[in-house]
Amino acid sequence: MKKKTIQKQIRNLLEKSPTRGYKTKEISKKLNLKTESEYADLKKILYELHTQGKLIKKGKRYLLAREANQLVGTLELTKNGYGFVIPEYGGEEDIFVSERNLNVALHGDKVLVEIFARKNRKNPEGEIVKVLERANDEFVGNIVQYRDVYFFVPDDKLIHRDFFIPKDSLNGAKIGDKVVVKLIEWLDPKLNPVGGVIETLGKQLEHTAEMKAIAKKYKIRTSFPEEVIKEAERFSDETIKAEILHRLDLRNKIVFTIDPIDAKDFDDALSIEVIGKNKFLVGVHIADVGFFVPENSQLDLEARKRGTSVYLVNYVVPMLPEQLSNKWCSLVPGEDRLCFSLLIEMNSNADVLKYRIEKTVINNKRRFTYEEVENIIKSGKGDFAEQILLLNDLAKKLYKKRIQSGGIDFNADEVKFILSEGGVPIDVTRKQRLQSHRLIEDFMLLANKLIAIQGNKFENRKSYPFIYRVHDVPNEEKIRQLAEFVSALGYKLNKAGGVKSKELQKLLEQVKDKPEEMLVNEVMIRAMAKAEYSEVNIGHYGLGFTHYTHFTSPIRRYPDLVVHRLLVEYKKSMRSDRLKILRNLIPEICKTSSISERTAMDAEREAIKFKQVQFMQDKIGEEFDGIISGVQEYGIFVEIIENLTEGLVRIKNLPADIYFYDENKYALIGRLNKSVYRLGDKVKVRVYAVNLDRNEIDFELVK
């Protein structure tokens, strides 16, 4: 009999006897299990269900945990020390757990909680009676000393207990070191957890150590296994020379890259030729990473686990080893490099006439920075000015077409750090969005769109699976709230029949350069669904594209690498067994890559926040102009205009009043003086306190 069938029968049986339960032999008899092996299997299953917290034992009798006011769930702690258990099965409320009733559970653990109070409470209250599964057993933080005893203070402020570190478990770590500690045991909530140092990252507040710590916190792999490095080191110039004969040779063409001034890898290049009257051949040349990373190689399996490169402040965790990402796969100037080239015939209206995909070899004639290209666009002079100006003219037309077809152009600000040699922020500024950025962006968008169309043809003609970058329509309720909100500001959003992306773009155009621009941008972004990878093509709402994928960054994104492989493989006949493998593999890659991307974004945001807080440490008492970037019942978040640093003005630091939070108006409103603090309002703040340990800044309003 199958294991799942027996589990279901056990559950059904125990539901009929919620308070008395059954002994093992009684269950065996009720389920009509006759052989010794069936009885042995039953005992094993009962033991597993008990260990998982789904069953409890009273003497020799088994009962369903939930019938005894016990539930299995995940513990989510708050910064204030208490937490909630989120039940594993739906239909139950979250269970409040006070700090004294946490037992030895930590944030994220799978636990068994016993409910002891239900009445007169917003949530049932319970006590954790058993930790079923640890969410983490490795933590990042600092080594401190109290008298002759060493402790570990976790960086994660949701971990509310310091760990005791025996001297023989320090492994060379010293006071003030940033370390990774493994939990050894924690048996008594009255005592500290016991841990041991397994890795020293560097000194506390030292830049690289802090960036590594953030990566470790998010379980981002920061080092490559030896076998992966060995595979990356087996390539040479001879590898490329031997492959050139099998490729379209474009080394005599004017091909160039445009990247940030501090870029280490270059995975995309452009070219353009005039091939007739008002007719051009545009080349989008992407590093052929698939040539160096065969499917199921050690390099490939490691890249799949990572999913993406992670760009922390001045510290990169690459998806591929540097021997590939910065050398053989990087389109460095003056070197022959293998590419996957999309060759697009276009007219002067930026219409695509036809396109083809070729395996090529190129030689980058010039590495441009965005600032250099911007100067050429403005002056009309410089290296390859003719090609750059032609590309820019087409890019502007592509942008116009995209917006007209429903693409949304959010005004998203990014931050730029100037660091000292020791990694301390000297200055923090907004990144300026240049026309040269738009030039690259619109050709990369076009390439990704055309590749998705090609992939969709394979899917429609031969039922071959493909990877798409999709963006679903916004939630109707959030759009309704957005419409009501902008209506209060004097703007109209036509949401009849479900809001079209064109209508959202029209709204952004209405508020452009107005005081409400950043406010409306922020509220609109919050109403959007999250883009993700999927084997099902539902289009990309935000771009206004019916077909979209990721093809242009295979050095740093795993889905792009897989798309490259599929384009090659689908040109050949496909065996049924291979097709079956791909139909199982592609959805899994989409799922894990989407998760990796979100993790990377969270880590990158935390790194930026850390450096911003570090920058503000010596700014206490200084005043700044800001915009209200968030509103909660406990205060308002304010973002400094000049450097995008965010801090909190707590209610105690607002003018004296009785405030209530109006969620629909995104505002904190004073009942007595009728003061209104609304998302997007401009305010002046003074730096009140900076806490680097908690990664927090407190502001007070300047009256």
pLDDT in tens, 314-324: 999 999 999 99
pLDDT at 469: 98
In this predicted structure, the answer to whether residue 18 has a pLDDT above a threshold of 80 is no
Sequence-separated (6 or more) residues with CB below 8 Å from residue 131? 103, 104, 105, 109, 110, 111
Final residue in a domain of this structure, among 614, 629, 663: 614
CATH number at residue 42: 1.10.10
Question: In total, how many domains does the chain have?
Answer: 5
440-470 pLDDT, tens digit each: 999 999 999 999 999 999 988 888 999 999 9
In this predicted structure, the answer to whether residue 586 has a pLDDT above a threshold of 70 is yes
**Spatial CA neighbour of 477 closest among 495, 490, 460:** 495
pLDDT at 19: 64
pLDDT at 409: 86
259-300 pLDDT, tens digit each: 999 888 899 999 999 999 999 999 999 999 999 999 999 999
Final residue in a domain of this structure, among 204, 237, 258: 204
The answer to whether the beta carbons of residues 537 and 448 sit under 8 Å apart is no
Question: In the 3-class helix/strand/coil scheme, how is 345-389 assigned residue by residue?
Answer: EEECCCCEEEEEEEEEEEEEEEEEEHHHHHHHHHHCCCCCHHHHH
Where is pLDDT greater, at 485 or 406? Answer: 406
Same domain, 511 and 588: yes
In a domain, 695, yes or no: yes
pLDDT at 121: 64
- The chain-wide mean pLDDT, for the chain, equals 91
Tokens of 258: 């445009």
Same domain, 593 and 495: yes
Q: pLDDT-derived band of residue 91, with 50, 70 and 90 as boundaries?
A: low
Same domain, 453 and 571: yes
pTM for this prediction: 0.87
Q: Structural domain of residue 108, as residue ranges?
A: 69-133
CA 232 to the chain's CA centroid: 27
Q: What are phi and psi of 527, to 5 degrees?
A: -80, -15
Same domain, 659 and 525: no
Q: Rounded mean pLDDT of 249-258?
A: 98
Same domain, 11 and 151: no
Residues 103, 86: Cα–Cα separation, whole Å = 17
Total residue length of the chain: 703
The answer to whether the beta carbons of residues 549 and 563 sit under 8 Å apart is yes
CA angle 317–75–195, rounded 5-degree value = 60
Cβ atoms within 10 Å of 699's Cβ, excluding its own: 28
Where is pLDDT greater, at 392 or 655? Answer: 392
The answer to whether the beta carbons of residues 513 and 528 sit under 8 Å apart is no
139-171 pLDDT, tens digit each: 999 999 999 999 999 999 899 999 999 999 999
Tokens of 313: 């402040």
In this predicted structure, the answer to whether residue 407 has a pLDDT above a threshold of 70 is yes
Same domain, 81 and 25: no
In a domain, 506, yes or no: yes
Same domain, 545 and 577: yes
Tokens of 134: 């640890």
Q: Rounded mean pLDDT of 185-202?
A: 96
**Spatial CA neighbour of 268 closest among 551, 600, 558, 601:** 551
Query: Residue 2: exposed, middle, or buried by beta-carbon count in 10 A (0-12, 13-18, 19+)?
Result: exposed
pLDDT at 491: 85
Same domain, 569 and 622: no
CA 180 to the chain's CA centroid: 22
Same domain, 497 and 590: yes
Weakest-pLDDT range from 227-241, 304-318, 617-631: 617-631
Percent of the chain with pLDDT over 70: 97
Instruction: Taking each helix axis as running N to C, give the angle between helix 435-462 and helix 370-379, from 0 to 180 degrees, rounded to the nearest 10.
Output: 110
Residues 344, 391: Cα–Cα separation, whole Å = 12
pLDDT at 488: 74
Final residue in a domain of this structure, among 204, 224, 248: 204
Query: Residue 526: exposed, middle, or buried by beta-carbon count in 10 A (0-12, 13-18, 19+)?
Result: middle
Residues 368, 598: Cα–Cα separation, whole Å = 30
pLDDT at 332: 96
Same domain, 692 and 586: no
Same domain, 161 and 49: no
Same domain, 73 and 43: no
Weakest-pLDDT range from 12-16, 110-114, 226-230, 294-298: 12-16
pLDDT at 679: 83
